[in-house]
Amino acid sequence: MMTGECKRLAAASLRGKWNFGAGVIFLSQLILSIGSCALYLPFMIAALYAVHTFLEEVTVGLLYGIYVAVSLIFSGIIIMGRRKLFLCLARQEPVTADLLFDYFGSWRKMLQACKIAFFISFYTFLWSLLLVVPGIIKSFSYSMTPFILMDHPEYTVHEALDISREMMKGYKWQLFLLHLRFFGWLLLIIITFGIASFWVVPYVSTAVAHFYLRLSERDELEEVSYS
């Protein structure tokens, strides 16, 4: 089964690099926590000033909206770098922790990461308004978008979203089963009060990267057969 193979390949890719993967997750979470606190402080100061000066409540709401938007942008850039790192790891390419900051390298990359985070969240949210299940299904449909743009930076975000949707036709259930295979590891995270997540998240992330690589190979073979 494809899900079992992706899990085995992920374990093979992480052989000898488990602690590196754990370190990457710890570092990224530390950066996200520090960034969130750094952004929250000016928001609180501005909000307290707005309340103290009896400004309208809408001002506080606007400030909070700006805080949330900036936080999502910052986290989206870090998470894109993390995804790229585990994709390189799945390909057995040399990796360093510097890849975490890859999407800070240019305004174009930063903008692309922001667009990916926004549109995937936005479209998933719209489908979730119908029911929770359609939202989950759509999140799987768009899940390959970041990887597609890593391999094809010339695509627009909307083109990558469309390609991801086509790529995942008939494979959303497989991706769900892949995540389900890590259910036992989820229990381990709960038992260890989150400590095990530093090793489990790299495992899951690398398995999903292998899932993308398998789908890419399938699409390439189909293109060859049709040509």
Whether residue 219 is contained in a domain is answered as no
pLDDT of 220 reads: 58
- Confidence label for 222 from pLDDT (cuts 50, 70 and 90): low
Whether residue 222 is contained in a domain is answered as no
pLDDT of 209 reads: 95
Write out the two tokens for 85. Answer: 């790192």
Q: What is the tens place of the pLDDT at every residue in 99-133? A: 888 888 778 888 888 888 888 777 777 767 666 66
Whether residue 33 is contained in a domain is answered as yes
This prediction's pTM: 0.83
Phi, psi of 193 (to 5 degrees): 55, 40
pLDDT of 59 reads: 63
- Confidence label for 227 from pLDDT (cuts 50, 70 and 90): very low
Whether residue 223 is contained in a domain is answered as no
Write out the two tokens for 23. Answer: 């370190």
Q: What is the tens place of the pLDDT at every residue in 26-82? A: 999 898 888 777 766 666 666 666 655 555 555 666 666 676 777 778 888 888 999
Whether residue 73 is contained in a domain is answered as yes
- How many structural domains comprise the chain? 1
Write out the two tokens for 161. Answer: 């979203």
- Judge contact between 113 and 136, C-beta under 8 A: no
Whether residue 46 is contained in a domain is answered as yes
Alpha carbons 83 and 66: distance in angstroms, whole number: 26
Alpha carbons 71 and 204: distance in angstroms, whole number: 24
Whether residue 98 is contained in a domain is answered as yes
Q: What is the tens place of the pLDDT at every residue in 141-167? A: 889 999 999 999 889 888 999 999 999
pLDDT of 10 reads: 95
Alpha carbons 169 and 140: distance in angstroms, whole number: 10
Provide the domain limits for residue 127.
Answer: 2-214
- Mean model confidence pLDDT for the chain: 83
Whether residue 101 is contained in a domain is answered as yes
